[in-house]
Amino acid sequence: MRYLFHRVVQAVVVLVAISILSFVLLHLAPGEFFSEIRLNPQISLASVDALRAQYGLDRSLPAQYGLWVRSALKGDFGYSFAYNRPVSSLIWPRVRNTLLLNTVALTLSWLFALLLGAWAAARPGGWEDRLSAVGTSTLFVVPDLMFALAFLMVAVRTRWFPAGGMMSLDMTGATTSSQLRDLSAHLFLPVLTIGLGTFPVLYRHVRSAMAEALASPFVRAARGYGLRRNQVLFRQALPAVANPLISLLGISFGLLLSTSLLVEIVFSWPGLGPILLESILGRDIYVIVGIVIVSAALAIIGNLFADVLLYWNDPRIRAEWR
């Protein structure tokens, strides 16, 4: 448990560092939300100043950070200028949507990477192996943006899939099953895009780790014992080479969130991506800070999860930290 504690402390330090960094950088940035209002002749300068005072923008930077920390501890994470609401109430529903999209995409791309990677590694040099190598290299080269645009093109041209959003308009009073069907139709293309963006990276690592394991003597021994191929692959070989893959799982959260940001914007998925873009264009600084911290926290939590998994999987790490 000392291990987990150590990791949590590290994570908190990183988050605090990011909050301070983004706070300082954003306050050094020229232009703010109210500079455009200031140009409006119908609003007096005095009322703009009053507004700025109300949001605490007239105070010194450390004082503003103090205010923000207090607000963050209360769970508000500051106020959005554009929506005049606490940042948290603005981004929580979007965090949920982003998480929904990413969990599905993560699960599917790992599932396929594990299955296909093990399958190809078990046939080194065979046509299946070479074919998947060529296929995944192609997927790797095509950028996520092009996948997203190509799928959007398919959706718009064929009308087989909804071309964006998360729910159809007429779904508010519908039954749960038809709502679920509607949601999965909306999920399909974004998940496919994110999955295709992440899969090749995962596949390559799974394939090389498995190939390494399958070449080692203990696997041959297991085969010699008469264990079936799938049993050898997933019960013997996989746990032995799981460590780098688990670390990759931790990193893949961050990778996935990045891909998802762009995909959400292209498919107008109501996640963190579109509102981040909107708040950058509108100079809504507390929303930017909030989203950056939340996305960092999500990636860090993913990493912590991977660390716990590592601790659980590898007796050597357990022994080291006991």
Cα–Cα distance between 300 and 312 in angstroms, integer? 18
Q: Which stretch binds other proteins (CB under 8 A): 82-90, 168-176, 216-224, 252-260?
A: 252-260
> Minimal distance in Å, beta carbon 212 to other proteins?
15
CB closer to other proteins, 43 vs 150: 150
Among residues 322, 317, 284, which one has the least CA distance to residue 91? 284
Q: How far is CA 98 from CA 41, 95, 114, in A?
A: 40, 5, 24
CB closer to other proteins, 36 vs 320: 36
One of 32, 299, 310, 311 touching other proteins (CB under 8 A):
299
CB closer to other proteins, 27 vs 228: 27
Cα–Cα distance between 193 and 263 in angstroms, integer? 7
Q: Per-residue DSSP letters for 18-72?
A: HHHHHHHHHHHSS--HHHHHHT-TTS-HHHHHHHHHHTTTTS-HHHHHHHHHHHH
Q: Give the orientation angle of helix 242-266 with respect to helix 144-158, to 10 degrees.
A: 50
For position 197 contacting other proteins by CB under 8 A, the verdict is: no
- What is the per-residue binding string for other proteins in 21-40, x denoting contact by CB under 8 A? -x--xx-xxxx---------
Q: Which stretch binds other proteins (CB under 8 A): 73-81, 145-153, 175-183, 184-192?
A: 145-153
Cα–Cα distance between 117 and 27 in angstroms, integer? 47
CB closer to other proteins, 14 vs 222: 14
For position 86 contacting other proteins by CB under 8 A, the verdict is: no
Cα–Cα distance between 15 and 114 in angstroms, integer? 32
Q: Which stretch binds other proteins (CB under 8 A): 174-182, 217-225, 229-237, 277-285?
A: 277-285
For position 77 contacting other proteins by CB under 8 A, the verdict is: no
Q: Where are the beta strands (DSSP E) in the chain?
A: 79-80, 85-86
Dig out the tokens for 34 from the structure: 């109210």
> Minimal distance in Å, beta carbon 204 to other proteins?
11
- What is the per-residue binding string for other proteins in 170-189, x denoting contact by CB under 8 A? --------------------
Taking the CA atoms of the chain, what radius of gyration do you get in angstroms?
24
> Minimal distance in Å, beta carbon 287 to other proteins?
10
CB closer to other proteins, 143 vs 239: 143
Instruction: Please return the burial class of 182, using the count of CB atoms within 10 Å of its CB with bins 0-12, 13-18 and 19+.
Output: middle
For position 12 contacting other proteins by CB under 8 A, the verdict is: no
Which residues here bind other proteins, judged by CB under 8 A? 10, 14, 17-18, 22, 25-26, 28-31, 137, 140-143, 145-146, 149-150, 152-153, 156-157, 163, 250-251, 253-255, 257-259, 261-262, 265-266, 276-277, 280-281, 283, 285, 288, 291-292, 295-296, 298-300, 302-303
